[in-house]
Structure 1
Amino acid sequence: MAEFALVTGAPALLALVELVHPQPHDLLRLDVRTWLAVHYAQIPLFPLAALGVVRLVRHRAGIAAGVCRAAMFVFGASWTAWDAVAGVATGILASAAQGSGDTQAWRGPVDAIWQHPIMGGGTASVLAVTGAIALSVVTVSAAVALKRAGHSWMPVLLLAIAGFGITIFKTHAWPGGPSTFAGLSIAGAWLLLEPVQPAPSDVAAAPRDAAAGDALAMPRGRR
């Protein structure tokens, strides 16, 4: 039950949060209360959603599963840091600006963060792009590992495609974020609930392993 809640609940909740993510057309005229609430919520939800995908490959070995784990760490770390600065810090400054009576005096400090090449949210900053690419790598590598483990094509393809929503729409507000994280939630639930068919290589290897075990167990005098 806890596993299902993590794998499906965290990305589903994040998808709902992203539905109300304000569009940042002018940071000094934002609905600051909603903006800050969304970005505070994203701080735990980004790594929790990442952990949910990693949970799907917890019993998997191999290169694809290893790439998934490494890339998900990159996503969780980069986007949590990015959200704290580009989202929370700009929201705090915008709130102070709106309460000051002279919002234009705050535009320089707000834009200094928002347009920052590493941490900014108004440009293709390093952390924003790194996290988006890492998420796509995560879902594709997880899909490869899970397909090799015997899962069917449909949930595996949904998982792989879901990771590209933010990259395609270039935003984690609507529609990029909701489509990405809703896709992760649905794919995760599907993968947890469907029976896994053994991979053909595993099925072929089973009789050989059994025969080898019988040979080793046979008394020496009967060989």
Structure 2
Amino acid sequence: MLTIRNIALGTAAPLMLAAAGAVHPHGLSRATASDWTQLHIALLPVFPLLTLGILVPLWHRPRPGLAGFATAVAWTGAFTYAAFYTGLDAVAGIAAGTAVEHAAGTANIEPIKHPLYDVGDSLGQLGAFALIIAVVATAVALFPKHGARVIPGIVVLLVAGWSFTDSHIFWPRGVWTMLGFALGFALLAAGTRRSKSIPRRA
């Protein structure tokens, strides 16, 4: 039951983001501005929850040694992702959508939205790379106890994390990226289910 709960906690956010990506407007225009803004407002609390798939397996990790240090790095990376990717959502999502929606009817919207895109993309990339660092640190923290069983989940998460650096949740690649995160977190939860520690060699 604990494994099922951990899988549910880890996959909920990426599955919600995948569903949102399937209906995400393909571009920001006056016609789509309201939907663009409202969707990003709704997703504002969801993007940070993507880190649950990492934080749940790391809960109660031992503090001493390399595993403890890696856990601290993973938590820091997860926090950095949550902070900076929320910035992307706020700037390139909510702010850009609001600005375009309320721009004068004759105004050229390109100079309005692209500076916001540039700032938002910079924040988002920083957050996405921080998430990759968190995944690598999670592997280091979990491997001493769980061994090779964490590798399938970590590999899937690294592929999804790399795709996330420039795909956001846009259809089609962004949606597949979120489904990749869901699969990776499920595999990681299954690989870290309660078990005996790997015996050490004499």
Q: TM-score, normalised by structure 1?
A: 0.72
Equivalent residue, structure 2, for 1:221? none
SS in 2 for 1:163: helix
How high is the sequence identity, in percent, across the aligned residues?
Answer: 33
Distance 1:143 1:204, change over 3 A: closer
Q: What is the number of residues matched between the two proteins?
A: 190
AA matched with 1:148? P
Q: How does 1:51-200 map to 2 (within 5 A)?
A: 51-61=52-62, 62-97=68-103, 100-104=104-108, 106-115=109-118, 119-121=119-121, 125=122, 127-150=123-146, 152=149, 153-167=151-165, 170-172=166-168, 173-194=170-191, 195=193, 197-200=195-198
In structure 1, C-alpha distance between the alignment counterparts of 2:40 and 2:77, rounded to whole Å: 22
C-alpha distance in structure 2 between counterparts of 1:176 and 1:134, whole Å? 20
Q: Which secondary structure state, in structure 2, belongs to the residue aligned with residue 48 of structure 1?
A: helix
Segments of 5+ residues of structure 2 without an aligned counterpart are 63-67
Contact persistence 1:39–1:88 (CA under 8 A):
yes
- The amino acid that maps onto 1:56 is P
CA distance in 2, matches of 1:159, 1:198: 25
Q: Report the alpha carbon displacement of residue 3 of structure 1 after superposing the two structures with TM.
A: 4.3
Q: Which amino acid aligns with 1:163?
A: G
* Range 35-44 or range 132-141, more displaced: 35-44
Greater relative CO (CA pairs within 8 A, separation 6+): 2
The 1-side partners of 2:180 and 2:194 are apart by 20
How far the C-alpha of 1:109 sits from its partner, in A, is 3.4
Q: Which has the larger radius of gyration?
A: 1
Structure 2 equivalent of residue 212 of structure 1: none
Structure 1 residues 138 and 178, CA, compared in 2 at 3 Å: closer, same or farther? Answer: farther
CA contact (8 A) 2:6 2:189 kept: no
